[in-house]
Structure 1
Amino acid sequence: MKSIYILPCFLMFGALSSCQGNDDIVQLFPDKLESYNTINPITDVTFHDGRPFSADNTLDNKNSLAVPTEGVLMQGFYWDVPAGGNWWNILKGKLTDWSKAGIGAVWLPPVSKAQNGALSMGYDPTDYYDFGEHNQNGNIETRFGSRVELEALITKAHAEKIKVYADIVINHNSGGQLEKNPFTGTDTWTNFSGIASGKFPRNYNDFYKNSHGTNDEGAFGGFPDLCHANPYVQDWLWGREDSVGKYYKNVMKFDGWRFDYVKGFGSWVVNAWNKNVGGFSVGELWDSNVDTLEGWANNANSSVFDFAAFYKMDEAFDNGNLNALKDDMMWKRNPFRAVTFVSNHDTDIINNKMLAYAYIFSHEGYPTIFYRDYEEWLNKDELNNLIWIHNNKATGTTSILHVDQDEYIARRNGYNGNPGLIIYINGSSNWQERWVDTHWENKQLKDFTGHSSWYPTTETDKRVKIQCPPNSYSIWSIDQ
């Protein structure tokens, strides 16, 4: 969630920014469902609960057997993308190349009309059903384009086998008109009865404080705080056939949801949305505490962004202490519900990004790549290579083989005939070499990153010596 600046109450501009159900486990891991169900019923999943690594240093993610078939998630925007209504067309033009690279889903910014109209990034929503077709809030199109262009983008994405996730902002609204509010004794900006779409009209009783209570988990930035306890609000968000959720899924053809600022309302809200609407979901719970992330994900029946891993990667790769990667992270607790990331539109603190991307693309969880990292700032060929490695080699549970301040080595143990991989991260200024344990006997390996020219062969005891260049990484697997 971006920091905001509130102008006088008569003119609030939205300089704002800002989980995964059982069906989505099937969508993301269809090749593992049969074996998965022989371990635990899919409705009663248990994972690593914070216990120490087992004797062989294998993380207790006993059900993490395969790689998500979605590939990699692209965050398809950044803060203050160019205004002018052309962003949907820009993204549409990139989809074919993204699909070829192995990107399986794209997350879009909030798609509906917001208070700041053609200048808004969408995080100050006014009319959830105006996708750039009504002359409202000073413009017809949104900052990103028209409804026709948005639908063309989604259609093209699906033709390229890319799923599309919508950013859902339901903590707060903005752009209403003044009305007398008996619960505050003042006039409040809570009259949304005149919205152009005519869908989901709202008044003071649909925002806190009201007849349903004084407040919920958290308001944001002084904006009217939507009251999810109100059955009317619930019905319009996910209950009725033309609710926001069902309209976005069935009419606009979105495949999933990124829920903004979930600290602002109970996890039951996302759970109810997922139960009634379906589709992939991930919550923005900005908290590095793994217990908090795991608890929310379980209660919401949703994925969650792995902020614990995000901050540990910053400590490891920018502060020269790879021992931080020993610490607990959401992907270690429950890889099915962990969406990993290196940067996004709200926060971009990791400087040594290639090491971080090598980490998330080789490990468990559902990795996200940031638009500007991919399209503008980093080496696209190197990122495409990591995406290929993720989609083709990064399978199975994770075993931590060696960690110290300068070196980190982990093994993905493979699944269903896929041999897995070994990743070696070197934070020092010198080449490093180390003998490691593999699952492969008398097999020739290669570094699929091309950073090392070695082609070592594993011994009869399945050990092998691998190497890694300074301040870089290598990723090893069977040469096939």
Structure 2
Amino acid sequence: MKTFQKLLIIILFVHYSCSDDMGIQDENQQLESNLKENVNVASRSSLKPIGTGVMMQAFYWDVPAGGTWWQVIEGKVQDWSNAGIDAIWLPPVSKAQNGAFSMGYDPFDYYDFGQYNQMGSTETRFGSKSELESLINEAHSARLSVIADIVINHNSGGDLEPNPYTGTPYYTDFNPLSGKFYRSNADFHPNATCNSDSGVFGGFPDLSHCQPYVQDWLWKRSNSVAKYYKNVMGFDGWRFDYVKGFEPWVVREWNNSVGGFSVGEYWDGNAGTLDWWSGEAQSSAFDFACYYRMRDAFMGNNLNRLNDDMLWKRNSTKAVTFVANHDTDEIINNKLLAYAYILTHEGYPTIFYRDYEEWLDKGRMNNLIWIHNNLAGGSTNVLYTDNDEYVAKRNGYNNAGLVVYINNSNSWKERWIETNWSNTRIKDYTGNSNWEPVTQGGRWVKIQVPPKSYSVWAPK
């Protein structure tokens, strides 16, 4: 029996070694072919710098199945770019356990973009590999960067195998048809090297980033997930899912290996914690502190909460602000007021697909995007707050700056405020007020705002 076991181990070793070598050969051939034929990488020089405009979250939970989503988005990227968007954030693009029905957050084969028949389908929920490549090409032609949603905390879809570290079998035997990044019980927690990391998610096998083999396949080797996504598929940046589940050095090492813009989903409303994670990971972070303060302000009718601590107030260059996303959408009332807040304040704003395309006034959204891109520069000073009113000014950076006036009451409001402009005619760039007052020599002026609305003032 022992002799048979040894023979079996040798056969398996040879099988996986050959499979890996073949995978590398295939990868090199495909890489060479793609670099010759695919313009994803070559067109990056003309992209808008990320952070100069606004990011679009180009999906929502349970977008229509059927493999058409990449085509839907491809048809919108030029209009989005014209409106002032500079990057699109796509859902996880690889094949997941639930195949054509999955939103991608249960990853199985990181290199199957809809070209292998596994997990019950060939295409992903969103479409085929060729359709994804076409979308990335079109986005680049429209000067938009493309952000990949990276799910590396957990995996799903593996076969059941014995686990010597727990004594009970678990679904950790991954044999993807792409021939890349095979995984076994040694690549998940617990294992011989480390028992756990920061957290598990949903009972899925918890990928072990302390293992050199996992690091190699995720970001180190020439055909790692990170380098393949960037150099072959043409992605320009990363949105890291559930970063509470692993240590921030993982994101830092990924970024150091391949570069590109990155933002982490550290779901925590404490601005200090977000600032800590961002510093350790050397990455931007979604500003959940800002999100929860806006929820309290606009849903709780208390705009004083906008004075509270937020990541953008601590480190605006690392704060990605948002009003809604595929996981959370609690600011239902006065949502345009919340967008007026993030699109006139510091940080890198993100717009949610359904808000822009379905639920809110697209003309008003485009107006706010224009205001963000053309007027909202420099540091921020809050000029006045109470339960119903909020007034702040941006001091300008290569532009004149602005004053934003948000009104959560049911009546018109007026207020004298001190601007940065003397003897200057100003106007409301939203069109919500038709006043065009002239600031006094001492820079004071009276401005107004409609009920449940906002106005944004700058020199005419």
Normalising by structure 2, report the TM-score.
0.89
Aligned match of 1:198: 179
Aligned match of 1:357: 339
Indicate the structure whose relative CO is greater, using CA pairs within 8 Å and at least 6 residues apart. 1
Any residues of structure 2 matched to 1:132-281 within 5 Å, and which? 132-192=114-174, 194-281=175-262
Letter in 2 for 1:448: Y
Aligned match of 1:88: 70
**SS of the residue aligned with 1:251?**
helix
Preserved CA contact (<8 Å) 1:114 1:120: yes
Distance 2:191 2:291 in 1: 38
Letter in 1 for 2:176: I
| Residue in structure 1 matching 2:446, options 462, 465, 468 | 465
Q: Deviations over 1:192-229 (max 9, x none)?
A: 1x210011111100000001111110001110000000
Letter in 2 for 1:410: A
**SS of the residue aligned with 2:76?**
helix
Q: Deviations over 1:272-309 (max 9, x none)?
A: 00011110000001100111100000000000000000
Letter in 1 for 2:151: V
Q: Could you tell me how far 1:441 is from its partner in structure 2?
A: 1.1
Are 1:114 and 2:96 counterparts? yes
Are 1:424 and 2:405 counterparts? yes
Distance 2:162 2:405 in 1: 63
Q: Percent identity?
A: 65
Letter in 1 for 2:342: I
Distance 2:172 2:180 in 1: 15
Greater share of residues in helix: 2
Preserved CA contact (<8 Å) 1:83 1:143: yes
Distance 1:441 1:28 in 2: 38
Over aligned residues, Cα RMSD in angstroms? Answer: 1.3
Letter in 1 for 2:147: Y
Distance 1:398 1:116 in 2: 46
Aligned match of 1:401: 383
Letter in 2 for 1:399: N
Q: Deviations over 1:132-172 (max 9, x none)?
A: 00011111100000000000000000000111000000000
Letter in 1 for 2:313: K
Are 1:456 and 2:437 counterparts? yes
Aligned match of 1:435: 416
Structure 1 outlier segments of 4+, above 3 Å: 27-30
Preserved CA contact (<8 Å) 2:92 2:148: yes
Aligned match of 1:101: 83
Distance 1:256 1:280 in 2: 4
**SS of the residue aligned with 2:427?**
strand
Aligned match of 2:58: 76
Distance 2:216 2:264 in 1: 21
Aligned match of 1:47: none
Are 1:301 and 2:282 counterparts? yes
Distance 1:452 1:170 in 2: 49
**SS of the residue aligned with 2:86?**
strand
Q: Deviations over 1:97-144 (max 9, x none)?
A: 111111110000000000000000000000000000001111110000
Q: Could you tell me how far 1:178 is from its partner in structure 2?
A: 1.2
Q: Could you tell me how far 1:28 is from its partner in structure 2?
A: 11
Distance 1:156 1:135 in 2: 26
**SS of the residue aligned with 1:422?**
strand
Distance 2:421 2:204 in 1: 58
Q: Deviations over 1:434-459 (max 9, x none)?
A: 11111111111000000001000011
Letter in 2 for 1:476: W
Letter in 2 for 1:362: T
Letter in 1 for 2:117: N
Aligned match of 2:428: 447
Preserved CA contact (<8 Å) 1:28 1:68: no
Preserved CA contact (<8 Å) 2:48 2:145: no
Preserved CA contact (<8 Å) 2:344 2:376: yes
Preserved CA contact (<8 Å) 1:76 1:91: yes
Q: Could you tell me how far 1:405 is from its partner in structure 2?
A: 1.2
Return the index of the structure with the highest Cα Rg.
2
Distance 1:333 1:29 in 2: 26
Distance 1:229 1:342 in 2: 35
Preserved CA contact (<8 Å) 2:237 2:261: yes
Distance 1:375 1:406 in 2: 29
Q: Deviations over 1:381-422 (max 9, x none)?
A: 000000000011000000111111111000000012x10100
**Corresponding residue pairs, total:** 414
Letter in 2 for 1:357: Y
Q: Could you tell me how far 1:184 is from its partner in structure 2?
A: 1.1
**SS of the residue aligned with 1:391?**
helix
**SS of the residue aligned with 1:475?**
strand
Letter in 2 for 1:354: L
Aligned match of 1:59: none
Distance 1:312 1:180 in 2: 47
Q: Could you tell me how far 1:29 is from its partner in structure 2?
A: 11
Normalising by structure 1, report the TM-score.
0.85
Distance 1:427 1:144 in 2: 39
| Residue in structure 2 matching 1:323, options 304, 309, 314 | 304
